Amino acid sequence: MSIESDLREAVCRTGASLFNRGLTHGSTGNISVSLPDGGWLMTPTGSSLGTLDPARISKLDGSGRHVDGDAPTKESFLHTTMYAERPAAGAVVHLHSTYSVAVSCIDGIDEHNCLPPITAYYAMRIGQLPLVPYYPPGDKALAEAVGSLAGRHHAVLLANHGPVVAASTLSAATDAVEELEETARLFLLLEGRSLRILTDTQVADLQKKFKAP
Ligand SMILES: [Zn+2]
């Protein structure tokens, strides 16, 4: 149980950190982590990431069935779809973070890669970021659209909604989604300027050194 207890605490600590820094608001955003037995812990439906209770975190078995704690987020399928396509992933974080959502609303954005490689850390932690077409929250078509990309991409941006990022650990997923949010912010700050982005060779070199699960 100690691994599970530690993970419950880590989910709550991470949620509070993200919420307190304004990276998601109200009861938006959700976090999940893989359990050693094949199931998952997930933040509950309607919960604020700022006030999570370790004892009430939702627990799902390996088939995605709710087995303990409060009912899981209505967006649980975003997480289970990511894990289905990326079995090595240890955590998934989904936020409604302001600058990433802003980028997801830009008409005509490159749907194959929403943000250019402005910095080395963005290239390492996110790399390519495809846009998932808009579907209403909870629509199963959204899960299918995420599933069609998740095998090739550990990070996707839901149109008019926000990012979903998988990584080997919760801290790596959090670092990556924060890097995405800061890059979205830089991208918008630099709007109208001529950008000197990293070259394909520079990006490929970085990605060789850091491979997402
Ligand atoms: Zn959402």
Answering whether pTM is above 0.85, one says yes
Sheet of 162-167, strand order: 66-68, 58-60, 40-42, 30-34, 91-94, 162-167, 155-158, 131-132
Give me the catalytic one of 75, 85, 178, 179.
75
99 assigned to active site? no
Helices 76-85 and 140-150 sit at what angle, rounded to 10 degrees?
Answer: 30
* pLDDT score of 109: 95
Residue 135, number of CB atoms within 10 A of its CB:
18
- Left if phi > 0, otherwise alpha if psi is -120 to 50, otherwise beta: which for 165? beta
- From ligand 1's centre to the CA of 164, what distance in Å? 9
Q: Predicted confidence band at 213 (pLDDT cuts at 50, 70, 90)? A: low
pLDDT tens-place string over residues 127-180:
999 999 999 977 889 999 999 999 999 999 999 999 999 999 999 999 999 999
